[in-house]
């Protein structure tokens, strides 16, 4: 067996690497939310922000490649662990009662799969622009890509609002268990601070979800207009 | 008291099992859960039926032999006790109680409610020991151990190896068991020389047995009859990281060093 195979045959190693990749993705999700909040500063701010990112193609594509790699590692390793876990209990209990396991922790594989589907949809929708192709691929008055117009158009449609709100709830559920779990997986525990570690998970999840929902509902309720 | 029992019956390891319903009358509220099953078995024997096979030994909550998932919770509704310490007064009269064996691929069913838990023994053989030469007993207090370390080691060592953590875990993971053993020995000076190799070998043995991985759900801690804390799982992960960084040569053979042939 090769060294790599031996390394990843260990469930603890797989979990540590998967959590590292996952944490990279969490970092991006926070960055993405903060960047997009600039929509509240108006068309000029967010379009300018987008053009700054696009003016740095090496940075942009390195970040995209890194994210793709992190997502690939995270999905690959967690999928492998989830399949192993399923095999570890081949016969289910007839009666089952949980005392401590939260709903979020028990549905990580499900929320993770749904999240992947949502991310693919989101990329096809707002990044590549395959979904809803009638979207004006227009430029603003300064010749920059009109990200503001895209956002307003997307979230004026109740169908997309519905999909994105559900996506955010799934993201929140997944993050709340994921982030607090990282501490335990890395062996960080403390008699007094353990409670805080748990709160960090819910805190990060709440922050990201509320930030994103603010944009969606600001458009939908007409606070942000074209 | 009167109860309706839905018990998992399975003739042998490769037989098909299923639930059989029994009703038991004249149960004293002071009977333990196992005594209630004893009474049922007496009746079954008297009518020439096969008695229900279940494991038990000390019946005072320290041997780790008894098991049973009672109404979906390993060791039943009380916290911090084993099935033998569970009393029938804990249940409402005329209730239906579902009794199942521990369910995990690494714990194959031998008969009815009895499962083969030797996977845990094999994990112990992989590293759950210290290598010392036998000889005259050492004088007391020649090796001083701080109160905190002694307490931590004792908390971890209170694991009786019943396997309830595996039974309760959604992933049938044995992490709490392995964590308790690794933490116990890594905390004490006698266990320190082998701590790097031990954690690697025990985690490898755990994965080899087909247990799942830890999902940090803490269901194990909630059913542990000895209240072993999930803090020890963090300690195991820390020990594992430490060993990975320091580097250790794993034994080349894949079988455990003290392995017996089963």
A6, closest residue in chain B (CA to CA): B204
User: Are B180 and B228 in contact, with CB atoms under 8 Å apart?
Assistant: yes
Question: A21-37 pLDDT, tens per residue?
Answer: 999 999 999 999 999 99
Residue A130 phi, psi dihedral angles, 5° rounding: -80, -40
Domain(s) labelled CATH 1.10.1060.10 in chain B stretch across 118-246
What kind of architecture, by CATH, is found in domain B3-110?
Roll (3.10)
Of B212, B221, B244, the CB nearest to A84: B212
Could you tell me the pTM of the whole model? Answer: 0.92
What kind of architecture, by CATH, is found in domain B118-246?
Orthogonal Bundle (1.10)
Of B6, B19, B207, the CB nearest to A10: B207
pLDDT value for B12: 95
As a whole number of angstroms, the distance between CA B238 and CA A16 comes to 11
CB contact under 8 Å between A13 and B244, yes or no, is yes
Please tell me the total number of residues recorded for chain A in this structure. Answer: 226
Q: Which residues of chain A have a CB within 8 Å of the CB of B211? A: 88
Q: What does the pLDDT average to over B44-71?
A: 96
Tell me the percentage of chain B whose pLDDT exceeds 70: 94
Q: Of A128-142, A144-158, B26-40, where does the model show the most confidence?
A: B26-40
B1 contacts: CB under 8 Å, gap ≥ 6: B26, B27, B28, B29, B88, B91, B93, B94
pLDDT value for A105: 95
What end-to-end distance do the CA atoms of chain A give, in Å? Answer: 59
User: Are B171 and A88 in contact, with CB atoms under 8 Å apart?
Assistant: yes
Q: What pLDDT band is residue B256 in, cutting at 50, 70 and 90? A: low
CB contact under 8 Å between B207 and A189, yes or no, is no
For residues B101 and B247, the model is more confident at B101
pLDDT value for B262: 47
Q: Is residue B76 helix, strand or coil?
A: coil
CB contact under 8 Å between A89 and B216, yes or no, is no
pLDDT value for A42: 93
Alpha-carbon distance A101 to nearest alpha carbon in chain B (angstroms): 5
Q: Report DSSP letters for B155-192, one per residue.
A: HHHT-----HHHHH-TT-B-HHHHHHHHHHHHHSGGGG
Q: How far is CA A143 from the centre of its chain?
A: 30
B121 contacts: CB under 8 Å, gap ≥ 6: none
Return the exposure string of A174-210: e unless at least 16 CB atoms fall within 10 Å of the residue's CB, then b: bbbbbbbbbbbbbbebeeeebeebbeebbebbebbbe
pLDDT value for B250: 59
CB contact under 8 Å between B213 and A84, yes or no, is yes
Q: What does the pLDDT average to over A63-92?
A: 96
What is the rounded average pLDDT for all residues in chain A? Answer: 93
CB contact under 8 Å between A85 and B106, yes or no, is no
Report the number of secondary-structure helices (H) and strands (E) in chain B. Answer: 8, 7
A105, closest residue in chain B (CA to CA): B217
Report the relative pairing of strands B109-111 and B114-115 from DSSP bridges: antiparallel
Question: A37-68 pLDDT, tens per residue?
Answer: 999 999 999 999 999 999 999 999 999 999 99
For residues B261 and A100, the model is more confident at A100
CB atoms under 10 Å from CB of A148, counted, come to 23
What is the rounded average pLDDT for all residues in chain B? Answer: 93
CB contact under 8 Å between B233 and A184, yes or no, is yes
User: Are B202 and B178 in contact, with CB atoms under 8 Å apart?
Assistant: yes
As a whole number of angstroms, the distance between CA A161 and CA A217 comes to 8
CB contact under 8 Å between A184 and B69, yes or no, is no
Q: CA angle at residue B178 from A84 to B250, to 5 degrees? A: 80
Whether B22 has its CB under 8 Å from any CB of chain A: the answer is no
Range with the poorest average pLDDT among A69-83, B81-95, B240-254: B240-254
Residue A192 sits in a domain whose CATH number is 1.20.1300
Q: Which residues of chain B have a CB within 8 Å of the CB of A10? A: 203-204, 207
Q: What does the pLDDT average to over B205-214?
A: 96
Q: What pLDDT band is residue B230 in, cutting at 50, 70 and 90? A: very high
B76, closest residue in chain A (CA to CA): A97
Question: B155-205 pLDDT, tens per residue?
Answer: 999 999 999 999 999 999 999 999 999 999 999 999 999 999 999 999 999
Structural domains counted in chain A: 1
For residues A146 and A33, the model is more confident at A33
Angle, in degrees to the nearest 10, between helices B175-187 and B147-157: 150
A118 contacts: CB under 8 Å, gap ≥ 6: A163, A166, A167, A170, A171
Report the relative pairing of strands B3-9 and B95-100 from DSSP bridges: parallel
Alpha-carbon distance A71 to nearest alpha carbon in chain B (angstroms): 19
Q: Which of residues 119-138 of B touch A (CB under 8 A)?
A: none
Q: Which residues of chain B have a CB within 8 Å of the CB of A182? A: none
User: Are A25 and A77 in contact, with CB atoms under 8 Å apart?
Assistant: no
CB contact under 8 Å between A14 and B213, yes or no, is yes
As a whole number of angstroms, the distance between CA B115 and CA B55 comes to 9
pLDDT at B123 exceeding the cut of 50: yes
Angle, in degrees to the nearest 10, between helices A11-36 and B231-246: 100
pLDDT at A215 exceeding the cut of 60: yes
The DSSP output letter for B113 is T
Whether B209 has its CB under 8 Å from any CB of chain A: the answer is no
Q: CA angle at residue B232 from B230 to B235, to 5 degrees? A: 130
pLDDT at A115 exceeding the cut of 80: yes
User: Are B171 and B221 in contact, with CB atoms under 8 Å apart?
Assistant: no
Q: Which of B44, B46, B54, B3 is nearest to B24 (CA)?
A: B3
A165: tokens are: 């709100």
pLDDT at B251 exceeding the cut of 90: no
What range does the domain containing A9 cover? Answer: 3-88+102-220
A192, closest residue in chain B (CA to CA): B231
B17, closest residue in chain A (CA to CA): A91
As a whole number of angstroms, the distance between CA B64 and CA B225 comes to 9
B200, closest residue in chain A (CA to CA): A10
Q: Which of B173, B174, B194 is nearest to B184 (CA)?
A: B194
Q: What pLDDT band is residue A142 in, cutting at 50, 70 and 90? A: confident
pLDDT value for B257: 54
Of A9, A180, A187, the CB nearest to B237: A187
As a whole number of angstroms, the distance between CA A172 and CA B100 comes to 35
User: Are A166 and A160 in contact, with CB atoms under 8 Å apart?
Assistant: no
CB contact under 8 Å between B207 and A97, yes or no, is no
Whether B218 has its CB under 8 Å from any CB of chain A: the answer is yes
Whether B164 has its CB under 8 Å from any CB of chain A: the answer is no
CB contact under 8 Å between B231 and A194, yes or no, is yes
Q: What does the pLDDT average to over B2-11?
A: 97
As a whole number of angstroms, the distance between CA A79 and CA A110 comes to 11
The answer to the question of residue A226 being in a domain is no
pLDDT value for A84: 96
Report the number of secondary-structure helices (H) and strands (E) in chain A. Answer: 9, 0
As a whole number of angstroms, the distance between CA B100 and CA B107 comes to 13
Q: What does the pLDDT average to over A130-137?
A: 70
């Amino acid at each position: 067996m090769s060294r790599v195979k031996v390394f990843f045959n260990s469930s603890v190693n797989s979990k540590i690497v998967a959590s590292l990749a996952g944490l990279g993705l969490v970092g991006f999700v926070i960055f993405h939310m903060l960047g997009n909040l600039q929509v509240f500063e108006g068309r000029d701010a967010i379009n300018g922000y987008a053009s700054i990112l696009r003016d740095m193609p090496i940075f942009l594509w390195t970040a995209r490649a890194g994210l793709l790699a992190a997502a690939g590692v995270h999905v690959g390793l967690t999928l492998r662990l989830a399949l192993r876990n399923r095999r570890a209990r081949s016969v289910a209990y007839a009666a089952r009662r949980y005392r401590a396991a939260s709903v979020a922790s028990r549905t990580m594989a499900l929320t993770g799969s749904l999240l992947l589907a949502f991310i693919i949809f989101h990329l096809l929708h707002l990044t590549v622009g395959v979904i809803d192709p009638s979207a004006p691929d227009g430029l603003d008055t300064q010749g920059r890509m009109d990200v503001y117009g895209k956002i307003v158009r997307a979230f004026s449609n109740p169908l997309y609002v519905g999909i994105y709100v559900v996506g955010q709830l799934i993201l929140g559920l997944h993050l709340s268990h994921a982030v607090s779990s990282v501490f335990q997986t890395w062996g960080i525990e403390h008699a007094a601070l353990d409670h805080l570690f748990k709160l960090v998970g819910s805190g990060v999840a709440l922050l990201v979800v509320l930030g994103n929902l603010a944009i969606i509902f600001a458009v939908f309720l007409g606070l942000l207009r074209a | 008291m009167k109860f309706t029992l839905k018990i998992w019956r399975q003739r042998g390891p490769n037989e098909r099992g299923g639930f059989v319903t029994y009703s038991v009358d004249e149960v004293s509220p002071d009977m333990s859960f196992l005594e209630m099953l004893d009474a049922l078995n007496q009746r079954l024997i008297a009518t020439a039926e096969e008695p229900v096979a279940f494991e038990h030994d000390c019946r005072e909550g320290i041997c780790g032999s008894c098991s049973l998932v009672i109404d979906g919770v390993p060791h039943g509704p009380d916290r911090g006790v084993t099935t033998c310490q569970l009393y029938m007064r804990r249940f409402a009269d005329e209730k239906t109680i579902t009794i199942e064996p521990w369910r995990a691929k690494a714990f194959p069913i031998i008969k009815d409610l009895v499962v083969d838990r030797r996977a845990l023994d094999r994990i112990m053989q992989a590293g759950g020991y210290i290598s010392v030469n036998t000889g005259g007993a050492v004088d007391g207090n020649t090796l001083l151990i701080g109160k905190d370390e002694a307490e931590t080691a004792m908390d971890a060592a209170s694991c009786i190896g019943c396997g309830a953590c595996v039974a309760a875990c959604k992933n049938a993971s044995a992490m709490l068991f392995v964590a308790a053993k690794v933490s116990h020995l890594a905390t004490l000076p006698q266990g320190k020389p082998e701590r790097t190799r031990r954690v690697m070998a025990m985690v490898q043995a755990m994965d080899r047995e087909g247990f799942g991985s830890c999902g940090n759900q803490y269901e194990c801690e909630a059913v542990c009859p000895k209240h072993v804390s999930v803090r020890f799982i963090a300690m195991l992960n820390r020990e594992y990281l430490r060993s990975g960084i320091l580097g250790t040569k794993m034994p080349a053979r894949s079988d455990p060093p003290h392995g017996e042939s089963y």
